[in-house]
Amino acid sequence: MAFRVSKSTLRRYITRVMRLLLVRHGETRANSEQRIQGRLDEPLTERGRSQVRTLGQAMRRLGLSWDSILSSPLARAWQTAELLEQGGSQRAVTECPELIEIAAGRLEGLTAKQIGREAPGFLGRPVEQLGDFSEYGGESADEVKDRVLCLYDGLVAKYLDLEQTLLLVSHGGLLFQLIRRMVCSPVPDVCLVRFGNCSLTCVDVQRRRGRVLGEIRYHVPIELFGEPSEEGQVGIFR
């Protein structure tokens, strides 16, 4: 008697890998002044452009390539994506609204000192509440989770079975939330991963016994590619 396996069962155990190269944008003036940016639409500084050029050269030396490049619509991410493409395959950058940074409401543009005066409760909140800006007119934690889930599920549905490599250019807050969703099950309340300007993170996403999970292959700060250290220049929300 022939042994038959349904397509749905077979699909659960076939290993297909979607590789994601995650890049945080280069430095902006708000970064250098340690201000919360959120949806503020600032361009790259000259140092930020230098960081992107350094990253692009390093990626070419490592032989990294990608099938598609998706970017947040904010200028700092879009400029980063375009600069990376200029030295690469010259593919068009595709806007991905779900990659936009978390909205921080009326805290946007403020330094930690200014927040201490105008919204002192924010700095004293427990760490598991730091991604929720609803109290200040920004996005709630649940809204961010829903957006990240929509982004992740969309990438999996469109690209996983094609086994493609995608370059995603985004922001520190959003990339942190995306990593947390991809590599942890269940998703933890508290998880700390630092995304400096022009950090490069490689995640392989595949089916593992019925679940689609990511595995971090490497997470590299721009300092290891030859740029000066960012110590003291990373704000509380990027």
Catalytic entry in 25, 27, 85, 171: 25
Neighbours of 66 (CB within 10 A): 20
Task: Give the residue ranges of DSSP H helices in 108-162.
Answer: 112-118, 120-123, 141-159
Q: What are the b/e assignments for 110-125, b being 16+ CB within 10 Å?
A: beeeebeeeeeebeee
Are 71 and 99 spatial neighbours (Cβ–Cβ below 8 Å)? yes
25 annotated active-site: yes
In the block, residue with structure tokens 């639409």: 41
Cα 193 off chain centre by: 11
- Residue 174 contacts residue 100 (beta carbons within 8 Å): yes
Angle between helices 172-183 and 141-159 (to 10 degrees): 60
Angle, helices 46-61 vs 75-86, to 10°: value is 40
Length of the chain: 238
Exactly one of 101, 108, 139, 230 is catalytic; which is it?
101
Q: Kindly state the DSSP code that residue 224 receives in the 8-state scheme.
A: G
171 is catalytic: no
* DSSP conformational letter for 137: T
Question: In the numeric block, which tokens belong to residue 191?
Answer: 């998880």
Paired tokens of 26: 């280069």
Determine the residue type at 90.
Q
Residues with catalytic function: 25, 101
